[in-house]
Amino acid sequence: MSNKDIVLYTEEKGIAKITLNRPEVLNALNRDVLEQLSSIMDRIKIDDSVKAVILTGAGEKAFSAGADIQFLNKATPLEVRDLARLAVTVNNKIESLGKVVVAAINGLALGGGLELAESCTLRFSASHARLGHPEVRIGAIAGFGGTTRLPRLIGKGRAVELLLTGNSISADEAYRIGLVNRIVEPDKLLSEAETLILEILSQAPLAVKMTWEAIHRGCNLTLEESSLLGADYFGLIASTEDFREGTKSFLEKTKPSFKVR
């Protein structure tokens, strides 16, 4: 398999589908995969024709089993750090893309693979999937952003247990603790993700974008600062034509026609 085939990209109806394509190694993340993901995210960010993204893995066994262990075993500390920093950059790009990104977790999501999913806007899990952070079991830590994002997603207590034990959990447990948004049968995973994306895209686009920005930025602030940020965004969105159209349509009981301006 050539390097150009390790991350697949298609686009239909304004939805980009990105597929990690190393099923022979459970879609493990190496530098080539991460560099391609980084480049793809750069393109999508400035491509107005792409409205949303589905990120998934090839095959039925894994979304991604995490960082390439063969590389980690032979790499120098500086090479490991560089890989982790690249992964952090990719995950930050996904989280700040300004467009909805749904992780369609089609199997194992472990270590760096789960960290990739944690950076997405939403997570859909196949019913047979297992998720976890086994890094401590190989003498490592969740260095691709897991120690930061997981506590924010499921709370410090639950995150500490997963990160310190290295245990993996079922899709049902992941749903119970809020790590995934929905559990879907494997053959419906992508279609269900697309259905939700289309529902989100039917809303006022600028309002969706600013809502996510307020959530994303607000998570790093105090409660008061985050609340004030939300108020500022509310005032900002009121300057748009879509805000006037939406409120007018509500009062007139008509369907709004948003212009994204």
Residues 147 and 119 in one domain: yes
- Asked if the structure places residue 247 within a domain, the reply is yes
Two tokens at 156? 């410090």
- Asked if the structure places residue 261 within a domain, the reply is no
Residue 5 is which amino acid?
A: D
* pLDDT per position as a tens digit, 188-209: 999 999 999 999 998 888 888 8
* pLDDT per position as a tens digit, 218-258: 888 888 999 998 898 888 888 888 888 888 888 888 888 88
Q: CA-CA distance, 229 to 221, in Å (whole number)?
A: 9
115 is catalytic: yes
Strand order in the sheet with 62-64: 62-64, 108-110, 130-132, 168-170
Residues 191 and 223 in one domain: no
Per-residue model confidence (pLDDT) at position 237: 84
Residues 135, 161, 194, 213: which is the catalytic one?
A: 135
* pLDDT per position as a tens digit, 2-37: 566 999 999 998 999 999 999 999 999 999 999 999
- Asked if the structure places residue 259 within a domain, the reply is no
**Residue entry with tokens 């008509």:** 254
60 is catalytic: no
Q: Is 18 helix (H, G, I), strand (E, B) or coil?
A: strand
**CA-only gyration radius of the chain, Å:** 19
Per-residue model confidence (pLDDT) at position 2: 54
* pLDDT per position as a tens digit, 47-94: 999 999 999 999 989 999 999 999 999 999 999 999 999 999 999 999
- Asked if the structure places residue 36 within a domain, the reply is yes
Residue 49 is which amino acid?
A: S
Strands 122-126 and 182-184: parallel
- CATH code for the domain in which residue 11 is found: 3.90.226.10
Per-residue model confidence (pLDDT) at position 3: 66
Confidence (pTM): 0.90
Q: Does residue 1 register a pLDDT over 70?
A: no
Per-residue model confidence (pLDDT) at position 77: 94
Residues 12 and 61 in one domain: yes
Residues 15 and 73 in one domain: yes
- CATH code for the domain in which residue 244 is found: 1.10.12.10
Residues 103 and 159 in one domain: yes
Please state the separation of Cα 5 from the chain's center in Å: 21
Q: Roughly how many angstroms between the first and final C-alpha of the chain, as a whole number?
A: 44
Residues 35, 79, 115, 224: which is the catalytic one?
A: 115
Residues 134 and 231 in one domain: no
DSSP 236: H
Q: What's the domain count of the chain?
A: 2
Per-residue model confidence (pLDDT) at position 167: 96
pLDDT band at residue 259 under the 50/70/90 scheme: confident
Among 201, 216, 233, identify where a domain stops. 201
Residues 47 and 148 in one domain: yes
* pLDDT per position as a tens digit, 92-127: 999 999 999 999 999 999 999 999 999 999 999 999
- Asked if the structure places residue 90 within a domain, the reply is yes
Among 201, 222, 240, identify where a domain stops. 201
80-89, 153-162, 173-182, 236-245: the lowest-pLDDT one? 236-245
* Alpha-carbon distances of 33 from 2, 27, 45, 57, 96, rounded to whole Å: 12, 9, 18, 12, 19
**Whole domain around residue 124: which residue ranges?**
3-201
Query: Is residue 237 a contact partner of residue 210, using CB atoms and an 8 Å limit?
Result: yes
